[in-house]
Amino acid sequence: MSRDINNKFWDEELETLPREELEKRQLADLQEIVKFAYENSPYYKRSFDEAGVKPEDIKTLKDIQKFPFINKKTQRDTQGVGSFLGELAAVPEEDVVFISTSSGSTGVPTMSPFTKKDFDEFQDTESRWFWQIGMRPNDRYVHALNFSLYVGGPDVIGAQNLGALCIWGGTLPSERLLFVLKTYQPTVIWTSPSYAWQLGEKALKSGIDPKKDLNIKKIIVAGELGGSIDATRKAIEDIWGAEVYDFYGLSDIFGACAAMCEAKDGLHIAENHILVETIDIHTGEILEPGQVGELVFTTLRKHARPLIRFRTGDIGRIDNTKCSCGRTHGRIHILGRKDDMFIVSAVNVFPSDIEAVIREHNGITGEYLIRIFERDFTNKYAVEIEKNADNPKSDDEVAAEVTAALKARIGVKPARVVVHPDGGLDTRSEHKSRRVIDERTLDYSI
């Protein structure tokens, strides 16, 4: 397939569909997938019957609101029940060509099956995101994501289908990866934001200046929130002299369901595949576009295991206004995981808010660790940071500055800020870092 490399769109007609036309397509696909799920998935048959709803009830997109929610627990409770693929699946095993599993970071790993058509459409969506950030067939691309079981691994096929020269990097040790970057001079890489930052620092420490000695022009980040935090994205861009784009994926759907464009103002979501709702995290009440709540996705075209009203556990908002890039598909702004959010003095605090403060503060390394704990049955948080070796200020002065910055940004100040020397925090793990430690003993699940 040859495309005009100067055309900014991978699929111009689809990406610029007038909203009305896009919603018309969504409705047709929604009606089809709800009927397919009802007729082929034992779980949906039972749950729709119990809720007293039928596929024919879907006459407008809003009618999806009559249908029951599902969540991670639904997946866990139904997988392996009745058949290998479980009760949520809507196709027989012989139609399935690929399964990925979640990392299990919040419990038992869940399996996501794909038919051949599901998988091909997944990869076409990934090609579209790569094209959207400017990747073209003359790019050399390193896919530095885990290939084992992880849904992000196969995204490399989307880059290959686009025509880029692909290097299946996986989770190589840093020294080997830097060797690849130096020797093959790739132009695009995808990894996690914390690792992109640490790899840049490691390069500098080993005498490689990413800006001069390497040829990376674009960095895709996903798996953690950093790419949507302006200060973190800029910190990575400064080290590499490259543009950073945030992608957002769900192991239950695609490696990337949404991606930034050149405007870097939220992430375009593939609305031809996913119908997005935002709901109040406590009451389940439907919110209007622009309001912050839990994102709920309905997959419109995945037949192996349709997800109808899946509560993602991610907090964010949707913006359906037209983007300056010309694409009409809505954009999502992700604030964090519902599970990561904690409440201090009636204020919702996301670790990403704390990260933004730490990353833009001068005189500290940007590494941090958050501890959430209780005192007198009240939530408190503490932040540990590292002072730069050349910072002449005392630890107390640095702690006071950071405390004030956190109070100004978040509204509630930390119980304490602990200052370590450069390298004093053990948070520089390869590829994905653990930065929040919850020491609370009471049950805060919502």
Phi, psi of 316 (to 5 degrees): -175, -165
Query: Closest separation between CB of residue 266 and Zn ion, Å?
Result: 8
Question: Which CB, 263 or 408, lies closer to Zn ion?
Answer: 263
Token pair of 316 as six digits:
């964010």
Angstrom distance (rounded) from CA 146 to CA 108: 19
Question: Which CB, 274 or 304, lies closer to Zn ion?
Answer: 274
Question: Which CB, 245 or 297, lies closer to Zn ion?
Answer: 245
Query: Closest separation between CB of residue 260 and Zn ion, Å?
Result: 8
Token pair of 152 as six digits:
């992000």
Query: Quick check: 100 and 111 in contact, CB under 8 A?
Result: yes
Question: Which CB, 302 or 327, lies closer to Zn ion?
Answer: 327
Token pair of 372 as six digits:
């959430």
Token pair of 335 as six digits:
């604030």
Question: Which CB, 9 or 98, lies closer to Zn ion?
Answer: 9
Residues making contact with Zn ion (CB under 5 A): 261, 263, 323, 325, 327
Strands 331-337 and 267-269 come out as antiparallel
CB atoms within 10 A of CB 109: 16
Question: Which CB, 96 or 325, lies closer to Zn ion?
Answer: 325
Angstrom distance (rounded) from CA 435 to CA 438: 10
Query: Closest separation between CB of residue 198 and Zn ion, Å?
Result: 29
Query: Closest separation between CB of residue 156 and Zn ion, Å?
Result: 24
Query: Quick check: 91 and 59 in contact, CB under 8 A?
Result: no
Question: Which CB, 271 or 367, lies closer to Zn ion?
Answer: 271
Which residue type sits at 210?
P
Strands 188-191 and 218-221 come out as parallel
Angstrom distance (rounded) from CA 254 to CA 251: 6
Token pair of 92 as six digits:
């027989």
Query: Closest separation between CB of residue 323 and Zn ion, Å?
Result: 3
Angstrom distance (rounded) from CA 320 to CA 328: 8
Question: Which CB, 262 or 430, lies closer to Zn ion?
Answer: 262
Q: Which residue is associated with the tokens 């934001």?
A: 193
Query: Quick check: 276 and 266 in contact, CB under 8 A?
Result: no
Query: Closest separation between CB of residue 7 and Zn ion, Å?
Result: 15
- In degrees, to the nearest 5, what angle opens at C-alpha 79 toward C-alphas 74 and 80? 155
Angle between helices 42-51 and 19-40 (to 10 degrees): 100
Question: Which CB, 47 or 127, lies closer to Zn ion?
Answer: 127
Burial of 282 (0-12, 13-18, 19+ CB in 10 A): exposed
Query: Closest separation between CB of residue 310 and Zn ion, Å?
Result: 25
Query: Closest separation between CB of residue 369 and Zn ion, Å?
Result: 35
Angstrom distance (rounded) from CA 2 to CA 393: 58
Name the nearest CA neighbour of 395 among 359, 426, 422: 422
The secondary structure of residue 305, as a DSSP letter, is S
In 280-414, beta strands by DSSP E: 293-299, 310-319, 331-337, 342-344, 347-349, 364-375, 378-387
